[in-house]
Every structure is written in C-alpha cells, then in structure tokens.
Homo-oligomer: A and B are copies of this chain.
Amino acid sequence: MTETATPAALAPDEARARFRAGLRVPTSGWCAGWTQANLLAVPRALAYDFLLFAQRNPAACPVLDVTEPGAAGSPRFAGDLRTDLPAYRVYEHGELVAEVDDVTDRWREDMVAFLIGCSFTFEDALLEAGVPVRHIEQGSNVPMYRTGIDCRPAGELSGPLVVSMRPMAASQVATAVRVTSRYPAVHGAPVHVGSPAELGITDLDAPDFGDPVEVRPGEVPVFWACGVTPQAAVMQSRPELAIGHAPGHMAITDIRESEHVVP
C-alpha cells in the first residue's frame, strides 16, 4: 500500500495544497489522526433548515463546524473551502449540474458552509483493531447507498438516509461497533449490521455513490450513517443552489481526531 502510506503521513495543509493544485482522489486513508468532513454549502436563506435537519438527524449529520455567511474557511478548516477539496458537486434545483475541482465562481456571497463528520476518520482505529477496511485494501472509494429510511425532515429539506458499507468477518462486528462508538462526531456506531434488503438496498454491487467492494464468503456488510445524506436531501428537496463535496472526496480539517473521541 505504498500509494496510501505517504498520504496518511501528510498534514492537513499539505493535503489541501495538493487538492488545490488539482489532485482528484478519494481521501480515505489520508492524513492519519485528522478529522475528515463532508461539505454542504447553501445560501443563507436555507441555512436554518439545513442546521435543523442536521440537529434532527445527528447520526447522519454530525456538525463539526459552520462558516460565517460568505466566508470560505473557518478556524477548524484553515484552508479555502472553494478550492481545497479534491472535487465538488454543484446542485441547482436538485439537479447535479457540475462535478468540478474548484467552486470559487459558484460561491455566492451569502454562502454558509457546513462541515459534517466523515467516517473515514475512524478507519485508522478500525485497522488498528484488526478490522479490515476493504476499500482501502482495494484502493477504491467506499461504497455508499441510498436507503429506504426517511430522515426527519426540517423546513424545506427531506430525504433518505445514505449509508456507507464496510464488509467484515462476523467475528469482527462487535469490535467494529465498540471501536466506532467512540467516534460519535464522525457517525459513531453502525446503524445496521447485515440484511441490506431491510435498508431497501437490493444490490450491494451497485452502490449509489462510490465504488463496489468485494464481500467475501462469510463476511457481513456493516452500515454506517453517511454524510452524503445532505446531498440526497438536496436532490429530493430541490433548493435553488447547494454545493457538496464529491462523495469520498472529503474536506480534511484541522480538527485532531483525538479532540472528539469519547472514552
């Protein structure tokens, strides 16, 4: 895994400089010890609805930081949110109109950005505990699925829960629950273990976002709430404008992982 060894050792500002320069890769495995975040930026008029949506769906939308209207950074992300992620998705009236690596020209002057914890943050801890992370082994993006579970709506925003999936041996599930429970700010414990059909997922090999991963005989798919959930709400609720990260291509923050791990 030489190709991930170097990214893991980078500091957040070093990683952000590479993305700003045009590197476009999923960030799983990058910047060990630092918190990764989902981005959703909306005009100020929609900010209350989104913050309330996050408050009502804390497993999917743990808020790490909120910028001042129009600001492109924050004390917890000392870069430029418009350029320093590997890739972005731009939605107009719920339609994906662009996937680009710079959204400076689309950032309205009243834009409010929300940084939402990402489960990539706890993958180091899973690996240290001996739980495999298949998409890191494969060098691919994590598979993510739209479920049949509705989030609690807030104002104009409603939509389904999106989950990420990591397969593992049945004997490792309890360890994965125990380890990730310590990280509530980056989705915490799994929301579902096994039984994809119960979540309304018909084909594990056809994720709605990211890449499929191999599920080996005897392995169980384990599902975590995912910070792409806000983008699914945008697609369903069709606000005028919203900007998110490209799934798997996260904001790498200046928040140390240790800052929000619970005992």
Contact = CB atoms under 8 A, between A and B. Distances in A.
Interface in A77-104: none
Interface string A172-195: 000000000100000000000000
A66 interface: yes
A47 interface: yes
How many monomers of this protein are in the complex? 2
A23 interface: no
Interface stretch (A48-56, A138-146, A201-209): A48-56
Contacts of A48: 47-48, 51
Interface in A222-263: 262-263
A51 B54 CA distance: 11
Contacts of A181: 263
A71 to B, nearest CB: 13
Contacts of A63: 55
Interface string A39-70: 00000000110011001100000010010000
- Contact residues of A: prevailing secondary structure: helix
A195 to B, nearest CB: 24
A179 to B, nearest CB: 14
A60 to B, nearest CB: 16
Contacts of A52: 51, 66
Contacts of A66: 52, 55-56
A52 B181 CA distance: 25
Interface string A145-167: 00000000000000000000000
Contacts of A262: 262
Contacts of A55: 51, 55, 63, 66
A21 to B, nearest CB: 32
Nearest to A152: B75
List the 5 closest A-B pairs by CB distance, nearest first: A48-B48, A51-B51, A55-B63, A47-B48, A52-B66
Given A51-B55, A56-B66, 7 more contacts: A47-B48, A48-B48, A51-B51, A55-B55, A55-B63, A181-B263, A262-B262
